[in-house]
Amino acid sequence: MKEFKVLMVDDEEDFVRTLDERMQMRNVDTSVALSGEEAMKKLEEDPPDVLLVDLKMPGMDGMEVLRRAREAYPGVQVVMLTGHGSEADEAEARRLGVFDYLRKPVPLDQLMRTLKAAYKKKIEQAMVAASFAEEGDFESAREIMTGNTKKK
Amino acid sequence: MNESLFMGKVTAAMTHEIKNVLAIIRESAGLAQDLLAMAGDSGFAHKEKFLRVMDKIDKQVERGAEIVTRLNTFAHVPDHEIRREDLSSVLDEMLILSHKLSRLSGVNFTVGKGSTSVVLEADPMKTRMTIYRLLEFLTPLVGKGSEIQLKAMKNSHGLPSLGLIIKTASLENFCIDGILADPEWNSLEMEFGSENAAIEPSPERDSFVIHFV
């Protein structure tokens, strides 16, 4: 039984395939997309627990993947892993609700800790949202899943 | 777009590519370690040596990533004609960028930590050029085994300044007045002094202070 599911999105195929192999050895259920467009298709077919996404890619970039994923799949936590990030990029990603923003080359144990923390957040959010939904408060449940909690 | 801006833009793009290369090297070395760990103790006579080599690769990747990050920051320097920045952070950046100069000359560069933050508002490229050219000029004069300490300071008017404290192995061999009389020094002073900074020796004549203007 794998621990949790991660979709890795990066156009650097050598990097993402090697990382894929190492994560599978660590009992993580992984899949790979080599573009933003492919990632959106895979998200629709089989949403992961965590999305690990590169920032700069040809076609749809990581920021757009983050934006769309947070809108359409609010339960999926997104971690950005990039060799390109500026401080402005990081600020924008955090505004859009990224769980964490890491810079390449990151040690694998640090990446694993971040992915596990993202998965934990997903489970906790789902549990709280479920308790609101059980009481019929679907608006609050939705707010918790998207992270857009309004003050009441 | 001017030449510096163009050079910076291209360099910044290349640093991003290098980071991807470093990430691939790190993951490939990590995968080799994982495979060895899976194989257990049997069958590989050079396991210890192999692990030492893998550890060395990982440390060099870390070192390369640090250098590339600094180079990326440096490549963005021409983006601003005037910038407000913490002078101590600039000195930390210069320490990395001048590492090769330090290694080749045998002169150790350090950054002295001040008690207060010194914020400098100046042309960031000229500031770095001033510091680098000064180090380049001073290293052969102070000699192997010496130390040049860079320190962010404020002068008596509260303006940002840079202390260059020179610790030579044999103080008698180091003649500050000789440096001040050197034609190369005069050209440096002319180059930076009029527009960006005034350079003065300390009253004890064992250090310099650059007053940014």
The SS3 of residue B49 is: helix
Min Cα–Cα distance to chain A from B79, Å: 13
Sign of CA pseudo-dihedral A54, A55, A61, A67: positive
* Per-chain mean pLDDT for chain A: 90
Residue A126, CA distances (Å) to A105, A117, A129, A149, B155 in order: 31, 14, 5, 14, 58
ipTM exceeds 0.85: no
| CA gap A9, A17 in Å, rounded | 10
Q: Which domains does chain B have, with CATH numbers?
A: 3-79 (1.10.287), 83-212 (3.30.565.10)
The band of B126, judged by pLDDT with boundaries at 50, 70 and 90, is confident
User: pLDDT at residue A137 above 90?
Assistant: no
* Alpha helices, DSSP H, located in chain A: 13-25, 36-45, 62-72, 87-95, 108-134, 138-146
| CA gap A95, A74 in Å, rounded | 14
What's the start-to-end Cα distance of chain A, in Å? 41
Contacts of A83 in chain B (CB under 8 A): 16-20, 23
Q: Are residues B16 and B86 in contact, defined by beta-carbon separation less than 8 angstroms?
A: no
A105 and B25 within 8 Å at the Cβ level: the answer is yes
B24 and A18 within 8 Å at the Cβ level: the answer is yes
Q: What is the pLDDT of residue A152?
A: 40
Contacts of B16 in chain A (CB under 8 A): 56, 83-84
CA dihedral angle for residue A55, residue A58, residue A63, residue A65, rounded to 10 degrees? -110
Q: Return the residue matching tokens 């599911």.
A: A5
- Tell whether B83 is within 8 A of chain A (Cβ): no
B26 and A56 within 8 Å at the Cβ level: the answer is no
Pairing of strands B83-86, B108-112: unpaired
User: pLDDT at residue A138 above 80?
Assistant: yes
User: Could you check whether the bond before residue B160 is cis, i.e. omega within 30 degrees of 0?
Assistant: no
Higher-pLDDT residue of B114, A130: A130
Q: What is the pLDDT of residue B181?
A: 72
* Per-chain mean pLDDT for chain B: 82
Min Cα–Cα distance to chain B from A145, Å: 32
Q: What is the pLDDT of residue A114?
A: 97
Residues within 8 A of B (CB atoms), A 71-130 only = 83-84, 103-108
Backbone angles phi, psi at A50, to 5 degrees: -135, 140
Q: Model confidence over A7-46: pLDDT tens digits?
A: 999 999 999 999 999 999 999 999 999 999 999 999 999 9
| CA gap B212, A89 in Å, rounded | 32
CATH of domain A5-146: 3.40.50.2300
Contacts of B65 in chain A (CB under 8 A): 104-105
- Tell whether B16 is within 8 A of chain A (Cβ): yes
* Mean pLDDT value of segment A86-99: 92
| CA gap B3, B36 in Å, rounded | 50
A83 and B25 within 8 Å at the Cβ level: the answer is no
Backbone angles phi, psi at B208, to 5 degrees: -115, 155
Domain boundaries, chain A: 5-146
B23 and A103 within 8 Å at the Cβ level: the answer is no
At B24, which helix (H) or strand (E)? Answer: helix B3-39
The band of A151, judged by pLDDT with boundaries at 50, 70 and 90, is very low
